[in-house]
Structure 1
Amino acid sequence: MESLTSMYKRYFDESLFSPKNEVSLMPRPEVGTGSIDRITTYSGIEIVYYNICYHASCPFVFASKGRMVELQFALSGQRQVMVSDQIYELPAGKGALAFMQNFQAQFYPPTPERYVSLALGIPVTLFDYAANQLATSLNRKFEFNRILDGQASRAYYFDIDTRSMALVKQLISVFTNANRSPLMMEAFALELLNRHMIQLFDLIPRPRGLSTGDLQKLHRVKQVLESCMADPPSLQALAKMAGVNDFKLKSGFKACFGLTVFEYLRHIRLDYAMKLLQDGEANVTEAAMRVGYSNVSAFSEQFFRRYGVKPSAIKNQ
């Protein structure tokens, strides 16, 4: 059976790209401009960052008898893939966890808009290990073979939320840096996989005293915090919006997510500030203000506590 790494290598060898160096590939001149960066982590995860502008739609076919899991994030453009007569589309702002085995896929690259995406190829053994560990306490099974159940492909779709987008941007920033850290790339990739396995397969254990409806309401609180982190509602307003009382909001949120509401707010604020600084979209003061800090010194202190580096150092990089 074809390994994941050899599958990716053959995919790029047979597709519309030519090697630029040991990490990057370029589209053939008649195909488009831009580049694809690809690296394999220590645990065998294939990280692939696409930043391509196609001159014209150039469909191509790829087939393999191997097995693969791929976590995909579409940042710009929309690609279509047909697997076993079933069409899969992934527009910008969406993600998917896709499973394939013994398949033939026909790819339809987007044109004329720029196509930017991040893909994480996950070894099936790693996915199954994580699935078994995550589901043990819930007495559930959802390994690769159970998910596909003899089919050639299956995909679970999701919206890319604020936290996931911050992780994706951080991974891309580390990946495209000449002094990239393999441990940081591995860490971001594993956190993204863990996050979406938990979400897509509903693997959050229900703490005592909370109903399924309570869990849904607490997830709503997370979404509200992520959408308005710079000016979040008060705890009382959050509780009213979610339809829970203050006590259940405070104790339930901590029981479900391991952080208090304020701790979670601080984490997503700092994560987004890190993204702004890494992308060059803001200086330190601007980043602090955009995520809701009126005191830049307090922002810098909390940033250093979380990341072990001053925000000015990120900006200077």
Structure 2
Amino acid sequence: MGWTELSSTNIQENIHLFFDRMNLDQKTKLTLHPEVGEGYVRRFLPRYDMEVVVSDYTFYRSQSISLSTKSPMVELNFCLKGERGISVQGKEHQLLPGLCSLQFMSEVEARFEYVGNEPFYMLGIGIPVSTFHHFMEESNGQRSIEFGQVLGKQSFRIFQEKLSPAASVALQRVMQYVAKPGTKKIEMETGVLGLLSMAFQSFLLDSETASVPLSKRDKEKIAQARVIMLECMVDPPSLPELSRMIGLNDYKLKTGFKAMFGTTVFGYLREKRLEKALFLLQQGEMNVTETSSAIGYTNTSYFAEAFREKYGVNPSVFVRRSSK
């Protein structure tokens, strides 16, 4: 939970309250009080029911800020630098760099913890419940997911996962819109809708991923699986083999890996193979065939197709451009 506690009737109500707690001047670009820290918060309204907030600041000393939200809302956060602790209903949560967090809340009391002299950088997107329900409607007018269904008997629920490669690209595009003077609202809205769509799909619409319970030990085993796949990139184990290696059943491995890293086991491997291929080709010491073999592709044509799909250019053309 962050800067964008929105009401379906007055989307400014809660955010003004939070900014008051933060000693921020109420302007388009809100600056931190010089006695508290340095930095700013920038607000964007791509449309009437959507608030986008970019936070970039550093507190001089560790801070603890309490807030009671006034209206139910849905918030999507991308932590890019630093970390922030959140305490809600006696439960502690952390926003860490590289994490995507989707939060559902009704009226709750929360406490935010900030570490002193640590830069914090985050993009937050907030929408009211009515807009969330609109997004969850199918073409026949039926609603697949209800806000109350997600919360259940709780007043706060958070989903978190590592940024997927696709989400990272979409987030980068939105941050470019934020930095570019004269960005059109339609550009910002389109980019933000893309991020929301990917988050809803990953956390809510993929029922297996949304429901899988992971203990701390499960997460350690899944992290171990990721390391094994990277170390065995050329000749990776099959999913059943990987499950046996880490001591976790293949169902929990599949769903847990998707929950933690935003993609399948072999989808992740494919991305890392192509990232290594890009690095190797940039070094200029291997040709396309050698690079294909070095990352585990036995068929150079398949490698070229995957490389072109990810980077928009054939590897042979990329080599020629890099050598100029």
TM-score, scaled to structure 2: 0.66
Matched, 1:155 2:158: yes
Distance 1:121 1:266, change over 3 A: farther
The equivalent position to 1:226 in structure 2, one of 271, 274, 282, is 271
- What does residue 184 of structure 1 align with? 187
Q: 2: CA distance between counterparts of 1:268 and 1:16?
A: 44
CA deviation map 1:199-248 (0-9, x unaligned) = 1124499xxxxxx97x979833432233233417869x8799xxxxx9xx
Match of 1:109 in 2: 114
Letter in 2 for 1:169: Q
Aligned residue in 1 for 2:318: 293
**Preserved CA contact (<8 Å) 1:78 1:115:** yes
Is residue 170 from structure 1 mapped to residue 173 from structure 2 by the alignment? yes
Name the CA shift for 1:262/1:182 in 2 (closer, same or farther; >3 Å). Answer: farther
Change (3 A) 1:194 1:122: same
Alignment partner for residue 201 of structure 1, among 190, 200, 204?
204
Amino acid at match of 1:152: S
Q: Within the alignment, does 1:269 sit opposite 2:311 as a pair?
A: yes
Take 2:303 and 2:71, find their aligned partners in 1: how far apart are those partners? Answer: 44
- Alpha-carbon deviation of 1:261? 9.2
Query: Which residue is equivalent to 2:98?
Result: 93
- Alpha-carbon separation, structure 2, partners of 1:94 and 1:73: 6
The residue identity in structure 1 corresponding to 2:111 is Q
Question: Corresponding residue for 2:18?
Answer: 11
Measured in 2, the distance between the counterparts of 1:155 and 1:175 equals 26
Aligned residues: 249
Letter of the structure 1 residue corresponding to residue 167 of structure 2: S
> 89-98 or 216-225: which moved more?
216-225
Identity %, equivalent residues: 21
Give the match's secondary structure for 1:18.
coil
Contact (CA 8 Å) 1:4, 1:67: kept in 2 or not? no
Write the distance in 1 (CA, Å) between the matches of 2:156 and 2:207. Answer: 26
Do the aligned partners of 2:100 and 2:162 also contact (CA within 8 Å) in 1?
yes
Give the CA deviation at 1:266. 4.1
Residue equivalent to 1:68: 73
Per the TM alignment, residue 186 of structure 1 is displaced from its structure 2 partner at its CA by 0.6
2:138 matched residue in structure 1: 133
TM-score, L = length of structure 1: 0.67
Change (3 A) 1:155 1:265: farther
Match of 1:53 in 2: 58
Structure 1: give runs of 5+ residues left out of the alignment.
206-211, 241-245, 247-259, 274-287, 298-317
Residue 30 of structure 2 is matched in structure 1 by 25
What does 1:208-223 correspond to in 2, within 5 Å? 219-223=264-268
Which amino acid in 1 is paired with 2:319? S
Deviations 1:114-168 (A, max 9, x none): 101111112212222222339x89x994321111123210001110122212221
What do the CA deviations read for 1:271-309 (whole angstroms, capped 9, x no partner)?
xx9xxxxxxxxxxxxxx99xx932439xxxxxxxxxxxx
**What do the CA deviations read for 1:4-45 (whole angstroms, capped 9, x no partner)?**
3322233213423224x42x1111111111111111121522
CA-CA distance at 1:178 after TM superposition: 1.8
Gaps of 5+ in 2: 1-6, 209-249, 279-290
Given residue 147 of structure 1, which amino acid in structure 2 is its aligned partner? V
How well do the aligned residues superpose, as a CA RMSD in angstroms?
3.7
Which residue identity does 2:113 align to in structure 1? Y
Q: Could you tell me which amino acid in structure 2 is paired with residue 201 of structure 1?
A: L
Q: Cα distance, 1:83 vs. partner?
A: 1.6
Q: What is the Cα deviation at residue 169 of structure 1?
A: 1.9
For the residue of structure 2 that corresponds to 1:41, the secondary structure is: strand
Residues 1:191 and 1:30: Cα distance change in structure 2 (over 3 Å):
same
Rounded to whole Å, the distance in 2 between the matches of 1:133 and 1:264 is 33
